[in-house]
Amino acid sequence: MSAVVIETNTAVPQPTTPWKQTRRNQIVSASTVAASVVIAVVIVLLTGLAGVDGWALTFLIVSLLVTAARAFKVDAKVRKEMFVSVAIFGTAALAFTPWMSIFASVVMKGARGFQPNFFVGDMRTTIPDDELNLGGAGHAIVGSIMMVLNATIITLPLGILSGVYLTEVRGRLTFLVRFVVQSMSGVPSIVAGLFIYVTFVNYTNSFSGLAGSFALAILMLPTVARTAEEVLKLVPDDLRSASYALGARQWRTSLLVVLPTVRSGLTTAAILGVARVIGETAPLLLTSLSSNSYVFNPLGGPISSLPTYVFGLLQIGTENATNRAWTGALVLMLLVFALFTTARFIGGKDRR
Amino acid sequence: MEMLKQEEIKMSQESQTNVMMMENDQDQRTAFRGLEAKNLHAWFGKHHVLSDISLRFPERTVTGLIGPSGCGKSTFIRLLNRMHEFIPSAAMAGQVLQNGEDIYATDVDAAAVRLKIGMVFQKPNPFPAMNIRENVLSGIKLAHLKVADHDSIVENCLTRAGLWKEVKDRLNATGGSLSGGQQQRLCIARSLAVEPSVLLMDEPCSALDPGSTLRIEETIKELAEKIAVVIVTHNMQQAARVSDFCAFFLTDDGPGYLVEADATKKLFTNPSDTRTADYVQGKFG
C-alpha cells in the first residue's frame, strides 16, 4: 500500500463551520457590547449628557476603553485588528447618528398624534387647535399618494424610454438628450411649480392634483432617466448580440431582452424618483395648494398633500397644530418606507 | 484513430464537386445551395483586417476555420450573418451569397438574414431574465414567429443540443443555474429553435471542459445532417474531429488571408502549403 493513501472512513462526519466564531467567543463579544451599553447608559444618566448624540459618543468611547482593556491579553496583530474594527464600527455609527437623531425626534414628537383618526379623518370640521383625537390627515395622505402615483405613471415610461434612447438607440440627439436631462436635474423645484402654474394652472383656471403631478413629474424625470441610463449601461453586450443573432430587431431586443434583465434596477430608478419628489412642498404650493377635505378627482380643484399639510400647520404654530405637523412628517416617512418595500417586492431581485 | 476512420467514411460519401475553394463560376446555371463568401474584405476604420476570402459552405457539412489569433476568423464569420455591422467603425467589401442571393443587397433585411444564419458565441450567454424554456423559445418570441406547438419545439431543440435529459425536470430554472457547458448547449438549442439553415459557431468550446466539449461536438455532427455548420476553433484536434472541410487563415502583420481550404483529412495529412503543414503540426501559432 502506498504511503499517500489515507484510511477511508465510511461514517459521514458532522458538518462543521470552522471559519465561524466559536460559541464562547460569540458570548464574550456579545457580553462586551452589552457591558459597554450599560456603562454608556450609566454615564449618560449620571453626567446628564443628553440626547442620542451624547449617548452614541459615550458608547464609542466606552467601547474603545473596553477594547483597550481586552487588548492587553492578546498579541499585537490581533490588538491592531480589534482597534481598527472598533474604530470603523464607531465612526460608522457616528455618521449614522444625525439620521438616527432626526428619525428619533420625528418619531417621538409625531407619536402623540399617531392615532387611528389621523389616517381616516380630515380637517373639514376640525380646526388645527382641536384635540388630537379629532380630525386627521387622511385627505393629505390620499392626495400625496395620488399625486406621486400619477407623477410616477407619467415619468416612468418617459424616463425609461430616454434611458433606452441614450444607451440602446444612441441616435443623433444623444448628446442633446443627455444635456437636457442633466440640466433638468439642476432645476430648483419651485421653478417646476411655477412652470406648471403659468401653463397648466392658468389654462385650467384652477389648482388641481393633476397640476401637482405634472410639477412632480418634471422633477422626477431627470432622476429616473439618469438612473435608468446607468442601469441599462450595465447590461452586457453579449446579450444584445445573442438577441440580434436570433434575428431580433432592435426594439424587440430592448423590450424583451435588455429591459427584463434590469427589472430590479429600473425599480430602483422608480424608487429614487419617488424619493426625490414625495417630500416636495414648494412646487405643490403653486400647483395643488391644499384643501381641508378628501379630493379624489385629480382635476377637482385644490388638493391636500402631506408636505403642504405639514407646512400649513407649522405656519399656524399653536401647540396642537405643531403636533399634527410632526405626525404628518412621521406618516410621510412611513409612507416612503412602505412604498419602497412594496416596490422592492414587486420589482424583485434580478434572477441572475 | 477511430474518429479519423469515421471521418474518412463520411468524406468519401461527400461529393467531390463540393470543393470549397471558390473558382470562377459565372456560367453556373443553378445557384449554389448553401452559404458562399465571394472576395470578402473587412476593415475596422482604416485598418484592413481581412483580405479577399472566398469560401463555400455547402449544405449538410461542417467547416472548420483554423488559424492563429488575430487572423480574422471571428471577423469573417461575423460577416457571414451581418453581425459585423454592429461595430461602429466596421466596413466591408465583397459578397456573401446564401443560395445565390446576396445577403448584403440593399433591399435585404438584416434581421431576416440573422434569422436564417444563426450564431453561437464564444461565451455562453443565456438570457438571465428568462428560464430554460423561455430561453429556448426566445428566438421565436424575438423574431415574432408564429408557432403552434411550443412544448415540442423546446423538447426537440434541447434534445438536438444534447441537453434535454439533464434539464427536462427543471425547465423553469434560470439559465444561469446551469453549468458552463450546459449553458452553451442551451445557447445552441436557442439558436436551433428558429430553424436556421446555417449555424455559425465562434469558438463554442473554448471555455468548456472536455466532457461538455465532446457533447457539443456530437451535437455539431448531428446538426450537420440537416444544416451547414461553420465553426471557428483553436483546437486542431477538434477541427480534425468534427469538420468535413477546413480553411486555414493566416496574417503577416497585415490583413488576414486564406492560405488553404480543403477536405479536413487532406488539410491535416497532405496540405498543399508548407505553412498549413507547420500550423497543423503545431510548429507555430
Tell if the CB–CB gap between A247 and B111 is shorter than 8 Å: yes
A124 at the B interface (CB within 8 A)? no
Instruction: Centre a 10 Å sphere on the Cβ of residue A1 and count the other Cβ atoms it contains.
Output: 5
* A21 within a domain of the structure (yes/no): no
User: Does residue A150 fall inside a structural domain?
Assistant: yes
List, in order, residues 6 or more apart from A309 with CB less than 8 Å away.
Answer: A137, A140, A290, A325, A328
Nearest residue on chain B to A352, judged by CA atoms?
Answer: B128
Given pLDDT bands bounded at 50, 70 and 90, which one contains residue B21? very low
A213 touches chain B (CB under 8 A): no
Residues A165 and A283 in one domain: yes
Contacts of A247 in chain B (CB under 8 A): 111-116, 139, 142-143, 194
Residues A163 and A83 in one domain: no
Q: Are residues A235 and A334 in the same domain?
A: yes
Q: Do A196 and A301 reside in the same domain of the chain?
A: yes
Alpha carbon separation from A240 to A167, B86, B158, B196, B241 (Å, rounded): 12, 10, 22, 19, 32
Q: Which residue of B has its CA nearest to A251?
A: B142
By C-alpha distance, which of A261, A259, A241, A253 is closest to B142?
A253
Q: Residue A263's closest chain B neighbor by CA? A: B129
Of A245, A257, A350, Cβ closest to residue B114? A245
pLDDT at site B82: 93
A12 found inside a domain? no
Judge if A100 and A242 occupy the same domain.
no
Is A260 in Cβ contact with B174 (below 8 Å)? no
Rounded Cα–Cα distance for residues A44 and A27 (Å): 25
Cell of B227: 444544416
Distance to chain A for B87, nearest Cα, Å: 11
Domain count, chain A: 2
Cβ(B197)–Cβ(B231) below 8 Å: no
**Helices A319-347 and A76-110: angle between axes, nearest 10 degrees:** 120
Q: Is the pLDDT of residue B29 over 60?
A: no
Burial string for A248-264 (b: 16+ CB within 10 Å, else e) reads: bbeebbbebbbbbbbbb
Interface test with A, best of B119, B125, B194 (most A CBs within 10 A): B125
CA distances from B284 to A54, B250, B274, B280 (A): 73, 11, 12, 9
Q: Kindly report which listed range (A12-21, A202-211, A323-332, B27-36) carries the lowest average pLDDT score.
A: B27-36
Could you tell me if A236 lies within 8 Å of chain B, comparing CB atoms? yes
CB contact under 8 A, B142 and A243: yes
- The arithmetic mean of pLDDT across residues B163-169, rounded, is 91
Contact: A253, B143; criterion CB under 8 Å: no
- Shortest Cα distance from B269 to chain A (angstroms)? 35
Convert the pLDDT of each residue in A273-300 to its tens digit: 998 899 999 999 999 998 999 999 999 8
Contact B129, A351 (CB under 8 A): yes
Average pLDDT over residues B77-101: 92
Q: Is residue A277 part of a domain?
A: yes
Residue B195 domain flag: yes
Q: Nearest chain B Cα to A170, which residue?
A: B88
A145 and A292 in a single domain? The answer is yes
Helix (H, G, I), strand (E, B) or coil at A183: helix
| Alpha-carbon span A302 to A290, nearest angstrom | 5
Distance (Å) from the alpha carbon of B284 to chain A's nearest alpha carbon: 31
Q: Which of B128, B143, B176 sits opposite A246 (nearest CB)?
A: B143
Q: Flag whether residue A104 sits within 8 Å of chain B, measured between CB atoms.
A: no
The amino acid at residue A88 is I
Residue A340 belongs to what domain range?
Answer: 138-347
- CB nearest to B143's CB, from A236, A248, A350: A248
Q: What is the mean pLDDT of residues B73-90?
A: 92
Mean pLDDT of A245-256: 92
Q: Do B142 and A236 touch (CB under 8 A)?
A: no
Give the C-alpha separation, B93 to B72, whole Å.
Answer: 14
End-of-domain residue from the set A112, A130, A148: A112
When CB atoms are compared, the residue of B111, B125, B139 closest to A239 is B125
Mean pLDDT, rounded, for B156-166: 89
Q: Are both A48 and A104 inside the same structural domain?
A: yes
Q: Is residue B285 part of a domain?
A: no
Interval A11-20: pLDDT, tens = 788 887 778 7
Q: In Å, how far is B111's CA from the nearest CA of chain A?
A: 4
Chain A hits for B203, CB-CB cut-off 8 Å, are none
Q: How confident is the model at residue A51 (pLDDT cuts 50, 70, 90)?
A: low
A157 and A78 fall within a common domain: no
C-alpha torsion B227→B231→B237→B240, nearest 10: 40
- Decide if A246 and B125 are in contact by the 8 Å CB cutoff: no
> Between residues A40 and A192, which one has the greater pLDDT?
A192
pLDDT for the residue numbered B13: 46
B54 min Cα distance to partner chain A (Å): 23
Contacts of A239 in chain B (CB under 8 A): 125, 127-128
Which domain, by its residues, includes B100? Answer: 2-20+30-280
Q: A33 and A155, same structural domain?
A: no
Q: Which of A239, A247, A249 sits opposite B127 (nearest CB)?
A: A239
Reference A328, options A33, A106, A129; nearest CA is A106
Residue B150 sits in a domain of what CATH number? 3.40.50.300
* Residue A118 falls inside a structural domain: no
Report the pLDDT value the prediction gives residue B14, as an integer from 0 to 100: 46
Residue of B nearest to A241 (CA): B83
The yes-or-no verdict on residue B18 having pLDDT over 70 is no
A91 with A206, same domain: the answer is no
Asked, for residue B11, whether it belongs to a domain, the answer is yes
Would the CB atoms of B190 and A351 count as touching at under 8 Å? no
Q: Residue A3: its pLDDT value, please?
A: 64
Q: Does A246 touch chain B (CB under 8 A)?
A: yes
* Nearest Cβ partner for B142 among A236, A252, A261: A252
CA B144 remoteness from chain centre: 24
Residue B25 lies in a domain: no
Smallest Cβ distance to B86: which of A244, A249, A261?
A244
The fraction of chain A above a pLDDT of 70, given in percent, is: 95
- Split into its structural domains, chain B has a count of 1
Domain annotation covers residue B220? yes
- Name the average pLDDT for chain A: 87
Q: Is the pLDDT of residue B20 over 70?
A: no
Chains A and B form CB pairs within 8 A to the count of 82
Q: Between B112, B116, B127, which is nearest A257 by CB? A: B127
Average pLDDT rounded to a whole number, residues A196-223: 95
* A207 lies in some domain: yes
The verdict on A226 and A164 lying in the same domain is yes
Measure in Å the smallest separation between the Cα of B250 and chain A Cα atoms: 26
In a domain, residue A132? The reply is: no
pLDDT number for residue A42 = 82
Min Cα–Cα distance to chain B from A262, Å: 8
Q: Which residues pair with B66 in a beta bridge?
A: B248
Chain A interface mutation, best of B82, B140, B142, B191, highest count of A Cβ atoms under 10 Å: B142
A38 with A146, same domain?
no
Residue B19 has pLDDT above 60, yes or no: no
Q: What is the CATH number of the domain that holds A335?
A: 1.10.3720.10
